[in-house]
Amino acid sequence: MRLIHALWHIISGAGPMWRAGRQGDIIFRFYALKALADEGFFKFLKEPRTYGQILARFGFIDIDYTRSMIDILLEDKDTGLVKEGEFYRAISQNPVPDLDQLVGSTDHRLHGFLLMSEGLGQYILPRMRQEPISLAKTFEQDDYDFMLKFDKVLSTRLYSAMRRACFAYLKKKDIAWLRGKHLLEIGCGSGFETAEIWARFDGDIKITAIDVIPSMIKLAEESFEKHLDEIKPDHKPITTENRPVFKVASATRMPFEDNSFDASFWMLVLHWTPDPRKAIHETARVLRPDGLLFGMQVCKPMLDEYMSIVIRSNANCYGIFWQEEYKRWMTESGIEVDLVPVLGVLRAFNRKDGRVDTRH
């Protein structure tokens, strides 16, 4: 029943998960191909060229990111890029689809991804030239233009539906247990997510919310009350005791003592970290024995390489990983995993001391 409820929330927010995943991939694919086409990449490859000639012509550096991009283009038969011996050749001079047609064929609930991928697409070529900028600088450039776009995505019905799915997959006794507990929210963004969690418990929960981007933490601190008023106008008063604490911190190196939190929540954040495995280990470290970890992380094969390559355009972003890796990293950290395949919705408990807590 919990699975059905979680699935219902996701379908209501994004449509069938497989279709939403494919349409999301198409959006990120568009901006990856557009970045290359605008540079004349496919036109240059109208004639057969070696890998070295490609690097020299566009100033690309032979790094893992560049090789990954070429491999993705070769695997995508619709790009028309083929390899013949040592030579690469583009059958099509411009395989980029029409943007208006793309928007028209995409579920309106996913249009927020257009804003996100458009903002990130401009960093693909610098990344291939080994001139990446940090995720924080990405958010802070152009008068915080990308941060404002990202904030719109986080505040959409789609993301709210996914957060509801995370809570729907918990058991009723988990929800009751969470009241009055200390929750670590990893990757709080603009604070909208924080406000939704606070409203669910009407302030009867202590939240420490972290994000690696200073401007996001500033926005969250400034916007939390406004978000809360929008979500639940009749909420209980915000007090010194129940006001969330927002803190700049990396998921891979948290400034907290061992066993600091009763519970932890993340949603679609690990692919933005430089090392998801380390982030999971850090979460287990700061989470008390038998503490609850819940949230959502969509992995491969639900999401494909185009989304990953666009995310990786920022320095120190890992990108999308396989669900099998995700589960293995959890197990290595002593986390007992209850993970919904494909959806990536998670309900887990920290068993780092080896005990089994029969309460759950």
Note the pLDDT tens digit of each residue in 153-212: 666 777 888 899 999 999 999 999 999 999 999 999 989 999 999 999 999 999 999 999
Give a yes or no: residue 211 inside a domain: yes
Q: Which structure tokens are listed for 46? A: 């109208």
Percent of the chain whose predicted confidence (pLDDT) is above 90: 66
* Distances in whole angstroms, Cα of residue 17 to Cα of each of 28, 89, 306, 342: 17, 35, 17, 8
The string of pLDDT tens digits covering residues 222-245 is 999 999 999 999 999 999 999 999
In this structure, is the dihedral angle defined by the CA atoms of residues 240, 254, 279 and 282, taken in order, positive or negative?
negative
- The whole-angstrom separation of Cα 158 and Cα 126 is 31
Q: What is the mean pLDDT of residues 13-37?
A: 74
Q: What is the mean pLDDT of residues 272-289?
A: 97
- The whole-angstrom separation of Cα 147 and Cα 153 is 10
Q: Where are the beta strands (DSSP E) in the chain?
A: 49-50, 81-84, 87-90, 182-186, 206-211, 245-248, 261-267, 287-296, 335-339, 345-350
**Residue 255 is part of which domain span?**
172-350
Mean pLDDT of the chain: 88
State the Rg of the chain over Cα: 21
Instruction: Tell me the CATH number at 187.
Output: 3.40.50.150
Q: What is the mean pLDDT of residues 312-338?
A: 94
Give a yes or no: residue 166 inside a domain: no
CA angle 124, 111, 170 (to 5 degrees): 100
Q: How confident is residue 102, by pLDDT bands cut at 50, 70 and 90?
A: confident
Q: What is the mean pLDDT of residues 253-276?
A: 97
Give a yes or no: residue 39 inside a domain: no
Give a yes or no: residue 330 inside a domain: yes
Q: How confident is residue 19, by pLDDT bands cut at 50, 70 and 90?
A: low
Q: How confident is residue 137, by pLDDT bands cut at 50, 70 and 90?
A: confident
Q: Could you tell me which residues are beta bridge partners of residue 347? A: 294, 338
Q: What is the mean pLDDT of residues 73-92?
A: 94
Q: Which residue has the higher pLDDT, 121 or 128?
A: 128
pTM exceeds cut of 0.75: yes
Number of domains within the chain = 1
- The residues, ordered by sequence, that sit 6+ positions from 108 with a Cβ below 8 Å of its Cβ are none
Give a yes or no: residue 10 inside a domain: no
- The whole-angstrom separation of Cα 279 and Cα 101 is 39
- The whole-angstrom separation of Cα 260 and Cα 237 is 26
Which SS3 state, helix, strand or coil, does residue 325 take?
helix
Q: Give Cα 48 to chain centroid, integer Å.
A: 37
State which of 21-35, 100-114, 201-215 shows the largest mean pLDDT.
201-215
- The whole-angstrom separation of Cα 275 and Cα 273 is 5
Q: How confident is residue 14, by pLDDT bands cut at 50, 70 and 90?
A: low
Q: How confident is residue 301, by pLDDT bands cut at 50, 70 and 90?
A: confident
- The whole-angstrom separation of Cα 2 and Cα 17 is 17
> Residue 159's pLDDT is what?
83
Q: What is the mean pLDDT of residues 292-311?
A: 90
Which SS3 state, helix, strand or coil, does residue 32 take?
helix
Look up residue 259 and give its amino acid. N
> Residue 25's pLDDT is what?
78
